[in-house]
């Protein structure tokens, strides 16, 4: 078993981004909008701000009260869409109940959608023409690349079908010629499906759900989950200690996928700046 060190890989990639930004005539700028006082979101936003500072990206966070209306938020998004000094706009999820999340994601300019959640960017991903890609799946793909994990012809299982992780993860792996089974809460015979997988990516949000008997010897196991176990300890979807005995490569929680998610968000902010200053309009750029 070998641990995939997401923290170390993120640090390496962030240093490469810092050098890249240093040579840019126009410095990338990211506007983050946080509505309400969700504690997990606040921590994530702080980590984003620190990463941006290390890399040399201008980053501001707009803190809005829980009572903010949908119209107020949409007006702000329109304002930053039109403001050329901002290359990336990120609205931190989840949003309060009075705000329609779909309307908010649709309102962000696809060229500034560094989270990759706009339907246009999702559609481009599914048609093999990615521009902006959700950061967590993009980070997992960087892990595969860094650790020489070939997806060609492999049997892969993705647990979870969210638009943020599961669906884009499946598509990105298919783009690399993996055969992907996308599983979810209604999947029958889930354990048997997982047992055949060369690669498992779990993003279901259930603490230590994936046990050793889900995993065949030598499989690669990527844990996207971020949960608390019965003792209140931070853990992933995978029962790490027992699965690590069978896996050839495995990500820990924390220190696995999490740092890569933030890093890929920064990378897409840099790319958005390069594209916007060069006059691109939602066309594919491989960066």
What residues form the annotated binding site?
160-162
Torsion, CA 222, CA 163, CA 235, CA 195, rounded to 10: -40
Q: Are residues 69 and 170 in the same domain?
A: no
Task: Give the domain range for residue 111.
Answer: 23-118
Where residue 57 sits, what CATH number does that domain have? 3.40.50.10860
Q: Answer whether residue 44 is part of any domain.
A: yes
156 and 51 together in one domain: no
Active site residue 48: yes
pLDDT digits (tens, 9 = 90+) for 30-79: 999 999 998 889 988 999 999 999 999 999 999 999 999 999 999 999 99
Residue ranges for the known binding site for NADP(+) are 160-162
Is 2 noted as a catalytic residue in this protein?
no
What's the total number of domains in the chain?
Answer: 2
Its pTM stands at 0.94
Distance of alpha carbon 222 from its chain centroid, rounded? Answer: 13
**Could you read off the pLDDT of 65-115 as tens digits, one per residue?**
999 999 999 999 999 999 999 999 999 999 999 999 999 999 999 999 999
Catalytic residue among 5, 109, 113, 115: 115
Say if residue 27 is in the same domain as residue 93. yes
Which residue in the list 5, 14, 48, 171 is annotated as catalytic? 48
Q: Is 92 a residue of the active site? A: yes
């Amino acid at each position: 078993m070998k641990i995939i060190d997401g923290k170390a890989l993120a640090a390496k990639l962030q240093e490469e981004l810092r050098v890249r930004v240093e040579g840019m005539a126009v410095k990338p700028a990211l506007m983050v909008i946080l509505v309400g006082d969700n504690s997990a979101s606040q921590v994530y936003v702080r980590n984003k701000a620190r990463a941006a500072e290390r890399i040399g990206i201008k980053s501001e966070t707009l803190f809005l009260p829980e009572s903010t209306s949908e119209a107020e938020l949409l007006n702000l998004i329109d304002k930053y869409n039109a403001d050329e000094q901002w290359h990336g706009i990120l609205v931190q999820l989840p949003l309060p109940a009075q705000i329609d999340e779909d309307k908010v994601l649709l309102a962000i300019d696809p060229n500034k959608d560094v989270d990759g959640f706009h339907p246009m960017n999702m559609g481009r991903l599914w048609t093999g023409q990615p521009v902006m890609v959700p950061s967590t799946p993009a980070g997992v793909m960087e892990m595969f690349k860094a650790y020489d994990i070939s997806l060609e012809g492999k049997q892969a299982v993705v647990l979870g079908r969210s638009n943020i992780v599961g669906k884009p993860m499946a598509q990105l792996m298919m783009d690399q010629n993996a055969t992907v089974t996308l599983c979810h809460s209604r999947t029958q015979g889930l354990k048997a499906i997982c047992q055949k997988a060369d690669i498992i990516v779990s993003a279901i949000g259930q603490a230590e759900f994936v046990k050793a008997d889900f995993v065949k010897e030598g499989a690669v196991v990527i844990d996207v989950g971020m949960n608390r176990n019965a003792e209140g300890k931070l853990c992933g979807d995978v029962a790490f200690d027992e699965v690590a005995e069978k896996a050839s490569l495995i990500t820990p929680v924390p220190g696995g996928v999490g740092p890569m998610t933030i890093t890929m968000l920064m990378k897409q902010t840099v790319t958005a700046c390069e594209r916007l200053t060069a006059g691109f309009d939602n066309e594919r750029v491989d960066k």
